[in-house]
Structure 1
Amino acid sequence: MLIINSFEEYKAFLGKEIGVSDWHTIDQQQINKFADATLDFQWIHTDQEKAKTESPFGCTIAHGYLTLSLIPYLWKQIADIRNVKMEVNYGIENFKFGQPALSGEEVQLKAKLISISDLRGITKVVIQATLCTKGKVKPVYTGNVVFLYHFI
């Protein structure tokens, strides 16, 4: 895991891959809990029997927004940003979904620092986030997440 203590340390990674997370298995239990939380019960996500016979994937798939919601969890495995009094998820930009994450598949987040700026003492970073599936070339998604850090 990368440890970043300041704006200057963060800036040293501009244009570079910051790192990759551990592998995370998206199982049916997590998919069902996400469906409960978001009230999105589309059968492609929750009906395992129907998905076996009617889905082009032969099984259920994770909600696209479930895969996006994994970013904070997986990001914390990549970088430990220290000496901050506050961190804010500021936005998401230009996300494209390439393929679904199937129930039971393992995914991993890759992060690259696209830009960093000092906004009167607040550090704004744009991280290119790519979610990969173990054994597949095409990513689940690629896009940018924007974080604000208030370094001490």
Structure 2
Amino acid sequence: MANKTIIEGLDGLRAVAGQQLGASEWKPLTDEDIVRFAEATGDFQWIHVDRERCKRESPFGVPIAHGYFSVSRIAGLFFEIVEVRGFALVLNYGLNKVRFPAPLKSGSRYRLSIELKELKDIPKGVEALLLANIEVEGQPKPACAAEVLYRFMSA
């Protein structure tokens, strides 16, 4: 397990503004992961779930994860990177911008890296703009690059 960035309350959050918060451990992507996501969303497009057709027809040669799979991993992996203390709630507030610059292929490994870009005061807390990247091991471009908004709410 990678070392977590520990954030102690609002002062601790302000202290790491503008900084990289770290990266999660590398995670393997399996066909089973992709199929479970397809089942959860109802998106069974062949480029995700048909290994034989991907071998024949896809420029990637193997199934690729849904773009939204990459986005959904941000929330789950965030708390692998960061331990937040001293707030009543941490809420995923939304996304400003999301792009999928490169495919996340079955059999590859991926991780989340996070930068705390800026903070904005809001009633009863602070809103954080985070730059999140789902990186693909050995690839120059991420599978997902997103501007994520989290709200850190006071007790």
Give the TM interval when normalised to the shorter protein: over 0.9
Give 1:96's aligned residue: 99
Residue 118 of structure 1: how far off its partner (Å):
2.0
Give the structure-1-normalised TM-score: 0.96
SS at match of 1:49: helix
Q: Once the two structures are aligned, what percentage of the paired residues are identical?
A: 34
Q: Distance in 2 between matches of 1:96 and 1:90?
A: 18
Q: Distance in 1 between matches of 2:28 and 2:96?
A: 25
SS at match of 2:88: strand
Give 2:150's aligned residue: 147
Q: Distance in 2 between matches of 1:121 and 1:133?
A: 37
Give 1:67's aligned residue: 70
Q: Distance in 2 between matches of 1:125 and 1:16?
A: 12
Which stretch of the first structure deviates more once superposed, 27-36 or 85-94?
85-94
Residue 124 of structure 1: how far off its partner (Å):
0.7
Q: Distance in 1 between matches of 2:17 and 2:90?
A: 19
Q: Distance in 1 between matches of 2:154 and 2:110?
A: 31
SS at match of 1:104: coil
Task: Provide the aligned length of Structure 1 versus Structure 2.
Answer: 152
1:50 aligns to 2:53 (yes or no): yes
Q: Distance in 2 between matches of 1:67 and 1:138?
A: 13
**Which portions of structure 1, spanning 4 or more consecutive aligned residues, are displaced by more than 6 angstroms?**
none
Residue 135 of structure 1: how far off its partner (Å):
0.7
Give the structure-2-normalised TM-score: 0.94
The amino acid that maps onto 1:135 is G
Q: Distance in 2 between matches of 1:30 and 1:84?
A: 32
Q: Distance in 1 between matches of 2:114 and 2:90?
A: 17
Q: Distance in 2 between matches of 1:49 and 1:68?
A: 26
State which of 31, 34, 37 in structure 1 corresponds to 2:34: 31
Q: Distance in 2 between matches of 1:110 and 1:117?
A: 21
Residue 120 of structure 1: how far off its partner (Å):
2.5
The amino acid that maps onto 2:44 is F
CA RMSD of aligned residues (A): 1.0
Give 1:80's aligned residue: 83
